[in-house]
Amino acid sequence: MQNIHEDSTIVSSDDMLESVVGIDPLNSRLPTEPPLEPYEGMEFASIEETRIYYTRYAKNTGFSFRMGRVTKSRTNGMIIGREFLCSKEGFRAKKYVKEESNSIIVHDETRVGCKAMLYLKKNGEIWIVSRFVREHNHELFSPKSSQFLRVHRKKTNVQKKLIDVLHDSGLGPSKIRSVLCTESGGVDNVRFSPQDVINYLTEKRQKKLENGDAQMMLSYFKSCQLKNPGFFYAFQMDAEGRLANCFWVDSRSKMAYKYFGDVVTFDPTYLTNKYKMPFVPFTRVNHHQQSILFGCALLWDETIESFFWLLSTWLEAMNGISPKTIITDQDAAISNAVAKVFPKVNHHYCMWHIKKKVPEYLSRVYHEHGEFKNQFYKCIHQSTTVEEFDSDWEAMIDKYGLQDNQWLNNIFSIREKWIPAYVRHNFCAGMSTTQRSESMNKYFKDFLNSSTSLSQFVTQYEKALDARYNKEREKTFTTRNSKPLLRTLYPMEEETSKIYTRKMFRIFQDELVGSQLFITEKVKFSIEVSTYKVREIYKEKPIYYVNFHVTSKEANCSCHMFEYSGILCRHVLCVFIKKKVYCLHSQYVLHRWSINAKKEKVKEVTIEGFQEGSSNASDTSLFNSIMVHSLELSERGSQSKKHHDIAIQSLQNGIAKLDLLDIEESNKKFVDSTSEDMPKVSDVSIALHDPPLIATKGRPRTLRMKSSLEMVRKGSSTCSYCMKKGHTKPKCPNLNQTR
C-alpha cells in the first residue's frame, strides 16, 4: 500500500495488537438492526469505535476480519493510519504449505487472496474511511454461522473472569463452556468453543511463566511464608540449577500433626504435573476418619537419596517429632530411607499393595484351585495369633505345593510388617493400607491434571486443602448440632454419643449392637483374671479370647482391635455386658476420636540445645517454639466470639509485657529479630530452573502409575463375537467375512 501522507511511513504489524479502550463490542448493548455499510468519508471518533462498528458489520455480512498494517508519522511516530483486512486476504506462506514428503500436520487452508478491506486514516482528532473495498471472492456466511468465525468468538471480560474461576475450581474446557452456555441462556449467546477456552488459558499461563515455572513456584512459597511464618518449604536443585525435589507444608497441617500425627502414610504413585514428578502426600486420618495432609512433595526420582531427603525434611518441619507408625508400600528405596530416618518407628507395609499382586504371581494356582483364594485370605485375616498364622500358612503352602514360589517366600519373610496377627498390637488408627493416600489422590484429581505446571500445582493444592478443611468443619458442625439415635439401653452408648465424633460413634455403636450376636464361655479363671472364649452364635469359628480383670474391670481381646484402632471390639463389649460393666473407663474412649480432640493442651516442644533461661538458642528455634503455641491459640480462639475475645486479650497482654521488657533492655544491644539464623525469605535470591520435560506425544492418558498386571489387563480385550483375545467385536475379522 502507498503512503497516505508524505510524512508517514508504513510499519508491518501482523503481530501488533491495538490497545483496547472503551467498551468491548461483545459486552456492549449493540443495536439489533443491521449496521450501515461503510463508505469513503465515513467518520469515527477512534480506532476502537471503528473496530466495534466493523465487527458488527462483518458479523451481519458474514465474514471475519483481522487488523492489518499500521501507518505511523515520520515526524512524531504517532499512528495515523490503520488497515482492516478480510481474514481470507493473502495466501499461506510457502513454509506452511504441506508437501507430500512433509509429515508435519498443518491446519486446513483458509486464505484465498480476498481483496476486501477498509482503510482508516487520521484527520485531526477524527478518523476517516479513506478506502473501502466491498467485494469478497469467497462465500459469505449467514449471521448465525458467522459467529463461529475467529473475530466473532471473542470473550467478554465477565466471561474471562468466569473461565478463570471455573478453571481454578477444577473444571475442564468443555464443562466450562457448558456452564457459561447455561448461565448465558443458551449456546447462541456463547460465541467461543472449548478450544478457544484452552487457547485463552494457555496464553494466560504462558504470560505467567515468563520468568520460569519453578521460579514462580518459589516466589509463591516465599509469599506464603511472609504471610504465614508457620509455612515451611524446602527444595533441592541438580548441578544445572534445575528443580529436583520439593516439599512444603502449611501451618494448619503442622498444627493438625500435633493432634493426629500418631500414624502417617505416604505413597508416591500419582502423576499430577507436566514434568511427571510423582506427587507424595503425607496422609493421616483426623477424628472424623477423614483423610488429611501433613504436607506433600514432588520428587524427580524415587531413589534412596530422594526419599531420605524427603523424610528428613518432613521430620524437621514437624519439629523433630516422629509418628508412632508409618505405612508405605514395599519399595526398597522407601524402606531403607524409613529405617535411617525413623529407626524406632513401627514401619508397616500396605496390605492392599501386596494383595493386589496375588493374581499376578499366583495365576496358576488361582486357575487350578478355585478354593485357594478364600483359603489365602482366610489365613491372613482370620488368624488371631502369630502361632496360628504361621501354622495356617505352612499348611496352605504344603497343600498347594508352593514351597518354591519366590514371591510367597518374600512376603512371608516380611510378615511382621503387614500380617494383621503381627501388626495389630500397634496403634494404626484402623489403617492397614496406603489407600488413604490413594483416596487423597482421587480427591486432588478434581483440582489437578497431567498438564498442570508447578506454579499451578501449588496454588491448586492450597485450594484443594481449603476444601478438605471445610469438610472437616462441616463434620464437626454436624456432630455438635445433632444427637444420634440410640439403639440400645446401655449407659455406655449414651455416654460415648456425647464424646465421640459422629463417625467414630457409629463405629462404636455397630460394635455394641454386634456384641449381642456373640456368646461367651469361661475357659480359665483366677482371683484376678478370667479368660472367656467368645464366638458368634451358631458359628464355631472364628474364636476370640478375652481376658477380664475382675478388680479393675479392664479387658483385652485376642483380636487387638482396641490396640489397633482405638475402639473397643464387640468381643470385649460382650464380656463387659455379661459382667455388668455398663459404663466404660476413660482409657477406653480415646481423646483422639472425640469431638474435642483439637482442644488438647499443646505439648511442650523440646528444642535441641536449648534450656529454659538459656540465651544461646537460635532465633529460629525460639520462633518455632512460639509458633506451636500461637497456632493453638488461633485454633481455639476462632471457635466463637467469646473464645476470640479471650485470645485477643491474651495477645494484647503479652505484647504489653514485651513492650515493657524492650524499655527495660533499651540500654542493651538491640538484637534484630531477623538475625542470620532466621529464614529471610524476602532476601533469598535463587535462580531456580524448571525440571526437564519428559517427551510425550500428546497428553498422558493416565495420572497414576500402573502395575504390570493392570497394563496386561488393559491390553487383553476379548471379542464378544469369536471369543478370541486381542481385538473387539467391531474389529473382528470373522465378523467382517460374514458381512
**Residues 328 and 262 both lie in one domain:** yes
Q: How many domains does the chain have?
A: 6
642 lies in some domain: no
355 lies in some domain: yes
Whether the CA torsion 663, 665, 668, 671 is positive or negative: it is negative
Q: Which domain holds residue 559?
A: 491-599
The residue with greater pLDDT, 219 or 85, is 85
On whether the CB atoms of residues 734 and 721 are closer than 8 A, the answer is: yes
CA distance 735 to 724: 12
**Residues 273 and 344 both lie in one domain:** yes
Nine-digit cell string for 53:
462498528
On whether the CB atoms of residues 434 and 338 are closer than 8 A, the answer is: no
- The pLDDT of residue 738 is 47
Given pLDDT bands bounded at 50, 70 and 90, which one contains residue 605? very low
In a 3-state reduction of DSSP, which class is residue 568?
A: coil
Residue 165, pLDDT > 60, answer: yes
On whether the CB atoms of residues 433 and 285 are closer than 8 A, the answer is: no
**Residues 145 and 227 both lie in one domain:** no
Q: Over the stretch 561-575, which tens digit does the pLDDT of each residue have? A: 999 999 999 999 999
**Residues 337 and 470 both lie in one domain:** yes
On whether the CB atoms of residues 149 and 63 are closer than 8 A, the answer is: yes
Given pLDDT bands bounded at 50, 70 and 90, which one contains residue 176? confident
CA distance 224 to 254: 14
**Residues 29 and 43 both lie in one domain:** yes
Peptide bond preceding 542 in cis form (omega within 30 of 0): yes
235 lies in some domain: yes
- State mean pLDDT over 712-726: 62
136 lies in some domain: yes
- The pLDDT of residue 585 is 94
668 lies in some domain: no
| Final residue before a domain boundary, out of 418, 444, 464 | 418
Q: Over the stretch 324-365, which tens digit does the pLDDT of each residue have? A: 999 998 889 999 999 999 999 999 999 988 988 888 899 889
Q: Where does residue 13 rank: exposed (0-12), middle (13-18), buried (19+ CB within 10 A)?
A: middle
On whether the CB atoms of residues 182 and 174 are closer than 8 A, the answer is: no
**Residues 118 and 83 both lie in one domain:** yes
Q: Over the stretch 406-446, which tens digit does the pLDDT of each residue have? A: 999 999 999 999 999 999 999 998 887 655 555 555 656 65
**Residues 225 and 306 both lie in one domain:** yes
**Residues 17 and 139 both lie in one domain:** yes
Nine-digit cell string for 399:
497343600
Question: What does the mean pLDDT of the chain come to?
Answer: 79
- The pLDDT of residue 445 is 62
Q: Over the stretch 65-118, which tens digit does the pLDDT of each residue have? A: 999 999 999 888 899 999 999 999 998 877 666 554 455 556 778 889 999 999
Q: Which of 57-71, 172-186, 358-372, 725-739 has the lowest mean pLDDT?
A: 725-739
According to the per-residue pLDDT averaged within each range, which of 6-15, 204-213, 240-249 is highest? 240-249
624 lies in some domain: no
Radius of gyration of the chain (CA): 35
CA distance 150 to 191: 9
Query: Considering the entire predicted model, what is its pTM?
Result: 0.65
Residue 223, pLDDT > 90, answer: no
Q: How many residues does the chain have?
A: 739
Residue 4, pLDDT > 60, answer: no
| Final residue before a domain boundary, out of 580, 599, 618 | 599
**Residues 589 and 535 both lie in one domain:** yes
**Rounded to 10 degrees, what is the CA torsion of 542, 545, 546, 550?**
140
Q: Over the stretch 481-501, which tens digit does the pLDDT of each residue have? A: 999 999 999 999 999 999 999
What is the per-residue burial (b if ≥16 Cβ within 10 Å, else e) of 665-683? eeeeeeeeeeeeeebebee
14 lies in some domain: yes
**Residues 375 and 447 both lie in one domain:** no
According to the per-residue pLDDT averaged within each range, which of 241-255, 474-488, 653-667 is highest? 474-488
What is the per-residue burial (b if ≥16 Cβ within 10 Å, else e) of 488-502? eebebbeebbebbbb
Q: Over the stretch 395-415, which tens digit does the pLDDT of each residue have? A: 999 999 999 999 999 999 999
Bridge partners (DSSP) listed for residue 718: 725
| Final residue before a domain boundary, out of 386, 418, 450 | 418
- State mean pLDDT over 13-19: 33
Q: Over the stretch 269-322, which tens digit does the pLDDT of each residue have? A: 655 556 778 888 898 899 999 988 899 898 888 899 999 999 999 999 999 999
Distances (CA, A) of 481 to 467, 473, 489, 523, 639: 21, 12, 23, 46, 14
Helices in 149-295 by DSSP H: which ranges? 157-168, 173-184, 194-208, 213-227, 251-260
- The pLDDT of residue 326 is 95
171 lies in some domain: yes
Q: Over the stretch 447-471, which tens digit does the pLDDT of each residue have? A: 566 667 777 778 878 887 888 889 9
Q: Which of 110-114, 141-145, 448-452, 554-558 has the lowest mean pLDDT?
A: 448-452
**Residues 511 and 403 both lie in one domain:** no
**Residues 242 and 358 both lie in one domain:** no
Nine-digit cell string for 389:
498364622
Helices in 99-193 by DSSP H: which ranges? 143-146, 157-168, 173-184
Given pLDDT bands bounded at 50, 70 and 90, which one contains residue 120? very high
